[in-house]
Structure 1
Protein backbone atom coordinates (compact mmCIF):
# COMPACT_ATOMS: atom_id res chain seq x y z
CA UNK A 1 0.00 0.00 0.00
CA UNK A 2 1.52 3.27 -1.10
CA UNK A 3 0.08 6.51 0.25
CA UNK A 4 0.54 9.55 -1.97
CA UNK A 5 -0.38 13.23 -1.79
CA UNK A 6 -3.19 13.94 -4.20
CA UNK A 7 -3.36 16.91 -6.55
CA UNK A 8 -6.06 18.96 -8.23
CA UNK A 9 -6.53 16.33 -10.94
CA UNK A 10 -7.72 13.90 -8.23
CA UNK A 11 -10.57 16.09 -6.99
CA UNK A 12 -13.44 14.35 -8.81
CA UNK A 13 -12.33 10.87 -7.74
CA UNK A 14 -11.79 11.97 -4.13
CA UNK A 15 -15.17 13.70 -3.92
CA UNK A 16 -16.92 10.66 -5.43
CA UNK A 17 -15.29 8.52 -2.75
CA UNK A 18 -16.34 10.97 0.00
CA UNK A 19 -19.90 10.85 -1.30
CA UNK A 20 -19.89 7.03 -1.46
CA UNK A 21 -18.67 6.97 2.15
CA UNK A 22 -21.42 9.38 3.26
CA UNK A 23 -19.04 12.14 4.35
CA UNK A 24 -20.36 15.11 2.40
CA UNK A 25 -23.02 17.53 3.56
CA UNK A 26 -24.92 20.09 1.43
CA UNK A 27 -23.73 23.06 3.49
CA UNK A 28 -20.06 22.11 3.17
CA UNK A 29 -18.92 22.07 -0.48
CA UNK A 30 -16.37 19.25 -0.81
CA UNK A 31 -14.72 20.79 -3.90
CA UNK A 32 -13.81 23.90 -1.93
CA UNK A 33 -12.45 21.75 0.91
CA UNK A 34 -10.37 19.66 -1.49
CA UNK A 35 -9.03 22.69 -3.37
CA UNK A 36 -8.03 24.51 -0.16
CA UNK A 37 -6.30 21.42 1.21
CA UNK A 38 -4.16 20.72 -1.86
CA UNK A 39 -3.31 24.41 -2.33
CA UNK A 40 -2.31 25.17 1.25
CA UNK A 41 1.16 24.73 2.74
CA UNK A 42 -0.28 23.35 5.99
CA UNK A 43 -2.63 20.75 4.52
CA UNK A 44 -2.87 17.91 2.03
CA UNK A 45 -5.16 15.17 0.80
CA UNK A 46 -3.56 11.76 1.01
CA UNK A 47 -4.72 8.82 -1.03
CA UNK A 48 -4.25 5.17 -1.87
CA UNK A 49 -4.76 3.89 -5.39
CA UNK A 50 -5.30 0.37 -6.63
CA UNK A 51 -4.21 0.40 -10.22
CA UNK A 52 -5.56 3.72 -11.37
CA UNK A 53 -8.56 3.82 -9.07
CA UNK A 54 -8.57 5.92 -5.93
CA UNK A 55 -9.75 3.60 -3.13
CA UNK A 56 -9.07 5.63 0.02
CA UNK A 57 -8.40 9.23 1.11
CA UNK A 58 -7.64 11.29 4.18
CA UNK A 59 -7.38 15.06 4.39
CA UNK A 60 -4.77 16.25 6.86
CA UNK A 61 -3.79 19.66 8.17
CA UNK A 62 -1.72 21.16 10.95
CA UNK A 63 -1.54 24.40 12.85
CA UNK A 64 2.01 24.15 14.18
CA UNK A 65 1.01 22.20 17.29
CA UNK A 66 -1.95 19.96 16.48
CA UNK A 67 -2.84 18.08 13.39
CA UNK A 68 -6.32 17.32 12.18
CA UNK A 69 -7.72 14.47 10.10
CA UNK A 70 -10.75 14.94 7.87
CA UNK A 71 -12.50 13.04 5.10
CA UNK A 72 -11.06 9.62 5.92
CA UNK A 73 -12.89 7.57 3.32
CA UNK A 74 -12.44 4.03 2.09
CA UNK A 75 -14.29 2.60 -0.89
CA UNK A 76 -17.18 0.70 0.76
CA UNK A 77 -16.24 -2.43 -1.23
CA UNK A 78 -12.67 -2.26 0.13
CA UNK A 79 -13.31 -1.83 3.85
CA UNK A 80 -11.62 -4.16 6.35
CA UNK A 81 -8.45 -4.37 4.20
CA UNK A 82 -6.32 -2.03 6.33
CA UNK A 83 -6.62 0.97 4.00
CA UNK A 84 -8.08 3.26 6.68
CA UNK A 85 -5.46 2.17 9.21
CA UNK A 86 -2.70 2.86 6.64
CA UNK A 87 -4.06 6.33 5.92
CA UNK A 88 -4.33 7.24 9.61
CA UNK A 89 -0.70 6.15 10.09
CA UNK A 90 0.37 8.20 7.05
CA UNK A 91 -1.59 11.23 8.30
CA UNK A 92 0.03 10.96 11.73
CA UNK A 93 3.47 10.74 10.10
CA UNK A 94 2.63 13.79 7.94
CA UNK A 95 1.67 15.75 11.07
CA UNK A 96 4.74 14.61 13.06
CA UNK A 97 7.07 15.51 10.17
CA UNK A 98 5.84 19.09 10.47
CA UNK A 99 6.37 19.26 14.22
CA UNK A 100 2.84 18.41 15.31
CA UNK A 101 2.60 16.66 18.66
CA UNK A 102 -1.06 15.65 18.63
CA UNK A 103 -3.53 14.33 16.07
CA UNK A 104 -7.19 15.15 16.43
CA UNK A 105 -10.37 14.50 14.50
CA UNK A 106 -14.08 14.94 14.84
CA UNK A 107 -16.66 12.20 14.37
CA UNK A 108 -20.35 12.96 13.99
CA UNK A 109 -22.27 11.85 17.07
CA UNK A 110 -24.33 9.30 15.14
CA UNK A 111 -21.33 7.59 13.53
CA UNK A 112 -20.59 4.88 16.09
CA UNK A 113 -18.69 2.74 13.55
CA UNK A 114 -16.20 5.53 12.84
CA UNK A 115 -15.75 6.27 16.53
CA UNK A 116 -15.08 2.58 17.22
CA UNK A 117 -12.55 2.46 14.36
CA UNK A 118 -10.56 5.37 15.79
CA UNK A 119 -10.77 3.99 19.33
CA UNK A 120 -9.21 0.73 18.05
CA UNK A 121 -6.34 2.88 16.74
CA UNK A 122 -5.75 4.44 20.16
CA UNK A 123 -7.82 7.62 19.85
CA UNK A 124 -10.01 8.51 22.78
CA UNK A 125 -12.80 10.94 23.45
CA UNK A 126 -11.36 14.28 24.56
CA UNK A 127 -13.00 16.38 27.24
CA UNK A 128 -13.65 19.34 24.96
CA UNK A 129 -16.58 21.07 23.36
CA UNK A 130 -16.25 22.03 19.72
CA UNK A 131 -17.86 25.36 18.89
CA UNK A 132 -18.25 26.58 15.36
CA UNK A 133 -19.53 29.41 13.26
CA UNK A 134 -19.88 29.58 9.48
CA UNK A 135 -18.03 32.50 7.92
CA UNK A 136 -19.22 32.03 4.35
CA UNK A 137 -22.77 33.21 4.64
Structure 2
Protein backbone atom coordinates (compact mmCIF):
# COMPACT_ATOMS: atom_id res chain seq x y z
CA UNK A 1 0.00 0.00 0.00
CA UNK A 2 1.22 3.45 -0.95
CA UNK A 3 0.01 6.75 0.54
CA UNK A 4 -0.26 9.50 -2.07
CA UNK A 5 -1.78 12.96 -2.30
CA UNK A 6 -5.01 13.27 -4.26
CA UNK A 7 -4.89 13.96 -8.01
CA UNK A 8 -7.85 14.53 -10.33
CA UNK A 9 -7.51 11.00 -11.76
CA UNK A 10 -8.62 9.68 -8.35
CA UNK A 11 -11.92 11.58 -8.13
CA UNK A 12 -14.35 8.92 -9.42
CA UNK A 13 -12.94 6.13 -7.28
CA UNK A 14 -12.65 8.39 -4.22
CA UNK A 15 -16.32 9.36 -4.44
CA UNK A 16 -17.26 5.69 -4.90
CA UNK A 17 -15.26 4.87 -1.77
CA UNK A 18 -16.95 7.60 0.28
CA UNK A 19 -20.37 6.38 -0.86
CA UNK A 20 -19.49 2.75 -0.04
CA UNK A 21 -18.48 3.93 3.45
CA UNK A 22 -21.71 5.98 3.86
CA UNK A 23 -19.78 9.24 4.26
CA UNK A 24 -21.66 11.34 1.73
CA UNK A 25 -24.83 13.32 2.34
CA UNK A 26 -27.19 14.87 -0.25
CA UNK A 27 -26.53 18.39 1.05
CA UNK A 28 -22.74 17.91 0.90
CA UNK A 29 -21.74 17.11 -2.69
CA UNK A 30 -18.43 15.21 -2.52
CA UNK A 31 -17.15 16.92 -5.66
CA UNK A 32 -17.43 20.28 -3.90
CA UNK A 33 -15.71 18.97 -0.75
CA UNK A 34 -12.85 17.61 -2.85
CA UNK A 35 -12.51 20.88 -4.77
CA UNK A 36 -12.45 22.97 -1.57
CA UNK A 37 -9.88 20.69 0.07
CA UNK A 38 -7.43 20.69 -2.81
CA UNK A 39 -7.85 24.40 -3.53
CA UNK A 40 -6.83 25.33 0.01
CA UNK A 41 -3.08 25.25 0.74
CA UNK A 42 -3.76 24.42 4.40
CA UNK A 43 -5.50 21.13 3.61
CA UNK A 44 -4.86 17.94 1.69
CA UNK A 45 -6.42 14.63 0.75
CA UNK A 46 -4.26 11.60 1.39
CA UNK A 47 -5.11 8.33 -0.33
CA UNK A 48 -4.17 4.72 0.25
CA UNK A 49 -3.54 3.15 -3.16
CA UNK A 50 -3.03 -0.54 -3.90
CA UNK A 51 -2.63 -1.87 -7.44
CA UNK A 52 -3.66 1.57 -8.76
CA UNK A 53 -6.95 1.38 -6.80
CA UNK A 54 -7.98 3.89 -4.12
CA UNK A 55 -8.56 1.80 -1.00
CA UNK A 56 -8.64 4.52 1.64
CA UNK A 57 -8.72 8.26 2.21
CA UNK A 58 -8.37 10.98 4.78
CA UNK A 59 -8.88 14.72 4.41
CA UNK A 60 -6.91 16.87 6.81
CA UNK A 61 -6.45 20.55 7.30
CA UNK A 62 -4.89 23.02 9.69
CA UNK A 63 -6.65 26.28 10.53
CA UNK A 64 -3.73 27.73 12.53
CA UNK A 65 -5.25 26.67 15.84
CA UNK A 66 -6.18 23.00 15.41
CA UNK A 67 -5.89 20.29 12.84
CA UNK A 68 -9.05 18.68 11.55
CA UNK A 69 -9.61 15.25 10.04
CA UNK A 70 -12.52 14.36 7.78
CA UNK A 71 -13.54 11.60 5.41
CA UNK A 72 -11.39 8.84 6.89
CA UNK A 73 -12.48 5.88 4.80
CA UNK A 74 -11.27 2.35 4.17
CA UNK A 75 -12.67 0.13 1.46
CA UNK A 76 -15.15 -2.10 3.34
CA UNK A 77 -13.48 -5.20 1.87
CA UNK A 78 -10.17 -4.13 3.42
CA UNK A 79 -11.32 -3.10 6.90
CA UNK A 80 -9.07 -4.47 9.61
CA UNK A 81 -6.04 -4.42 7.30
CA UNK A 82 -4.42 -1.41 8.96
CA UNK A 83 -5.31 1.06 6.21
CA UNK A 84 -7.21 3.41 8.53
CA UNK A 85 -4.41 3.39 11.10
CA UNK A 86 -1.82 4.11 8.44
CA UNK A 87 -3.87 6.96 6.97
CA UNK A 88 -4.35 8.51 10.42
CA UNK A 89 -0.62 8.25 11.11
CA UNK A 90 0.11 9.97 7.78
CA UNK A 91 -2.49 12.68 8.51
CA UNK A 92 -0.95 13.24 11.97
CA UNK A 93 2.50 13.54 10.38
CA UNK A 94 1.21 15.98 7.73
CA UNK A 95 -0.36 18.14 10.43
CA UNK A 96 2.65 17.89 12.75
CA UNK A 97 4.89 19.06 9.89
CA UNK A 98 2.69 22.17 9.64
CA UNK A 99 3.26 22.92 13.35
CA UNK A 100 -0.20 21.75 14.41
CA UNK A 101 -0.41 21.10 18.18
CA UNK A 102 -3.71 19.15 18.35
CA UNK A 103 -6.11 17.28 16.08
CA UNK A 104 -9.88 17.48 16.34
CA UNK A 105 -12.39 15.33 14.52
CA UNK A 106 -16.13 14.80 14.48
CA UNK A 107 -17.85 11.42 14.54
CA UNK A 108 -21.57 10.86 14.27
CA UNK A 109 -22.69 9.85 17.75
CA UNK A 110 -24.30 6.68 16.36
CA UNK A 111 -21.06 5.41 14.77
CA UNK A 112 -19.82 3.12 17.54
CA UNK A 113 -17.26 1.41 15.29
CA UNK A 114 -15.57 4.72 14.43
CA UNK A 115 -15.64 5.87 18.06
CA UNK A 116 -13.94 2.62 19.11
CA UNK A 117 -11.38 2.97 16.33
CA UNK A 118 -10.42 6.50 17.39
CA UNK A 119 -10.32 5.41 21.05
CA UNK A 120 -7.78 2.73 20.05
CA UNK A 121 -5.60 5.44 18.48
CA UNK A 122 -5.59 7.52 21.67
CA UNK A 123 -8.22 10.08 20.69
CA UNK A 124 -10.19 11.25 23.70
CA UNK A 125 -13.75 12.45 24.14
CA UNK A 126 -13.83 16.23 24.55
CA UNK A 127 -16.44 18.05 26.65
CA UNK A 128 -17.65 20.23 23.78
CA UNK A 129 -20.77 20.51 21.67
CA UNK A 130 -20.52 21.13 17.93
CA UNK A 131 -22.62 23.95 16.54
CA UNK A 132 -23.02 24.76 12.86
CA UNK A 133 -24.46 27.47 10.67
CA UNK A 134 -24.86 27.33 6.92
CA UNK A 135 -23.22 30.31 5.20
CA UNK A 136 -24.26 29.02 1.80
CA UNK A 137 -27.64 27.31 2.10
CA UNK A 138 -27.60 23.85 0.48
CA UNK A 139 -30.14 23.01 -2.20
CA UNK A 140 -33.39 22.01 -0.53
CA UNK A 141 -32.62 23.89 2.69
CA UNK A 142 -30.75 22.96 5.83
CA UNK A 143 -30.86 19.22 6.59
CA UNK A 144 -30.64 19.95 10.31
CA UNK A 145 -33.36 22.61 10.53
CA UNK A 146 -35.77 20.16 12.17
CA UNK A 147 -33.29 18.65 14.63
CA UNK A 148 -34.43 19.63 18.14
CA UNK A 149 -32.01 21.74 20.16
CA UNK A 150 -30.69 20.52 23.47
CA UNK A 151 -29.20 23.00 25.87
CA UNK A 152 -27.69 20.42 28.21
CA UNK A 153 -26.46 17.36 26.35
CA UNK A 154 -26.06 14.21 28.44
CA UNK A 155 -22.63 13.55 29.92
User: TM-score, normalised on structure 2?
Assistant: 0.86
User: TM-score, normalised on structure 1?
Assistant: 0.97
| Alignment gaps of 5+ in structure 2 | 138-155
Larger Rg: 2
Deviations 1:9-65, CA, capped at 9 Å, x for gaps: 211111110000011111111110011111210111100111110000000111112
> What residue is the counterpart of 1:11 in the other structure?
11
> What residue is the counterpart of 1:95 in the other structure?
95
Displacement, 1:93?
0.5
CA distance in 1, matches of 2:85, 2:126: 20
Question: SS at 1:47's partner residue?
Answer: strand
CA distance in 1, matches of 2:52, 2:19: 19
Q: Which runs of 4+ in 1 moved over 2 A?
A: none
CA distance in 1, matches of 2:19, 2:136: 22
Aligned residues: 137
Deviations 1:97-122, CA, capped at 9 Å, x for gaps: 00100011000011010000000000
> What residue is the counterpart of 1:76 in the other structure?
76
> What residue is the counterpart of 1:23 in the other structure?
23
Question: SS at 1:125's partner residue?
Answer: coil
Displacement, 1:136?
1.4
8 Å CA contact 2:2, 2:50 repeated in 1 = no
8 Å CA contact 2:18, 2:73 repeated in 1 = yes
CA distance in 2, matches of 1:135, 1:10: 29
Structure number with higher helix proportion: 1
CA distance in 2, matches of 1:92, 1:60: 9
8 Å CA contact 1:8, 1:38 repeated in 2 = no
Question: SS at 1:130's partner residue?
Answer: coil
> What residue is the counterpart of 1:60 in the other structure?
60
